[in-house]
Amino acid sequence: MPEHAEHTIEVGGATIHYLKGGRGKPLVILHGAEGSLGWRQYHEQLAESFTVYAPTCPGFGQSERPPWLESFTDLTRFSLWLLDALELPQVTLAGHFIGGWLAAEMAVMSPRTFEHLILIDAAGIQPQDGEIADVFLHGQEGTRQLAYFDPQQVAEYAELFQHKPSKEERDIQTRNQETLVRYCWKPYMFSPSLPGLLGRVQLPTLIIWGQDDRIVPLECSALYQHALPNARVEIIPQCGNCPPLEKPTECVRLIRNFLV
């Protein structure tokens, strides 16, 4: 099985944590609202075909946030700087939920940096009919209940979520929530300008969505497809907001078929 390792790198005066493993062309995967959940099954499967980079965004987990980094726009610019520091030109960029929103914003800002774009149940676009669920209102446990169609399908659920967190884990969870509020509160989980700007992104784009997503409505997959000139949508049935964890085999198969 492909090996992986933990690394840190200095960017803009901050120490950024990331995981790296596998072989092949680089594939950068941006995490969702809970921050980095470590090297998961889907990373392992993708690392059989690609060199997978899984950075922890500044302010989440073990990654520091520079004091000047206050907004989602700042985060976008910083994340492009991170790719420069990692010496990763022409990469495939993937992201889940807020990571998908971040990936879309990065592609708008610097489309020539990327070869392909993969958005998985991405925030970033305001629904026209429904709304993005308020993860702050529901809290961590309530949001997890919304996030999965059936937790029994998530092979790593018990390992990730069904243990008493240590003090260090509780501190990280609190810090992650504070960071999420800083980046995503106003406007909540979307950018009014993003749909208009996505026309700049000519990259081949794969949009993956859980058919039963109760956090980011399924309609947002169509809104992204409409805004992106070269995008296609793949819907995974009986799956909630987090296909990489709930349906990793299906999710990885779609990514491999798109890229290989």
Residue in the structure block whose two tokens are 């996030």: 147
Per-residue model confidence (pLDDT) at position 143: 95
Asked whether 97 and 215 are in contact (CB, 8 A), the reply is: yes
Q: Which two tokens stand for residue 233?
A: 């949508």
Alpha carbons 230 and 51: distance in angstroms, whole number: 25
Count of residues making up the chain: 260
* pLDDT value for 91: 96
Residue type at position 127: P
Angstrom distance (rounded) from CA 160 to CA 156: 6
Q: Distance between CA 177 and CA 22 in Å, rounded?
A: 31
Eight-class DSSP state of 152: G
Looking at residue 120, its pLDDT comes to 99
| Fold exhibited by the domain 4-259 | Rossmann fold (3.40.50)
- 3-state SS class at 22: strand
**Nearest one of 45, 47, 257, 71 to 179, comparing CA atoms:** 71
DSSP 249: H
Residues 6+ apart with CB under 8 A from 82: 9, 11, 16, 55
Dist. CA 258–CA 260, nearest whole Å: 6
pLDDT at 260: 87
24-77 pLDDT per residue, tens: 999 999 999 999 999 999 999 999 999 999 999 999 999 999 999 999 999 999
Question: Taking the domains of the chain in order of start, what are their residue ranges?
Answer: 4-259
Question: What is the reported pLDDT for 1?
Answer: 64
Whole-angstrom distance, CA of residue 113 vs CA of residue 88: 8
**pLDDT confidence of residue 2:** 78
| Distance from C-alpha of 175 to C-alpha of 103, rounded to nearest angstrom | 22
Long-range pairs, 86-90, Cβ under 8 A, ≥24: 86/9, 86/18, 86/53, 88/26, 88/28, 88/53, 89/113, 90/114, 90/115
> Tokens representing 10?
């200095």
- Would you say the pTM of this structure is higher than 0.75? yes
What the block records as the tokens of 212 is 């039963």
15-37 per-position pLDDT tens digit:
999 999 999 999 999 999 999 99
Q: Average pLDDT of each block of 10 consecutive residues along the chain (260 residues)?
A: 91 97 97 97 97 98 96 98 94 98 98 98 96 94 95 96 92 96 96 97 98 98 98 98 98 97
**φ, ψ of residue 132 in degrees (nearest 5):** -75, 130
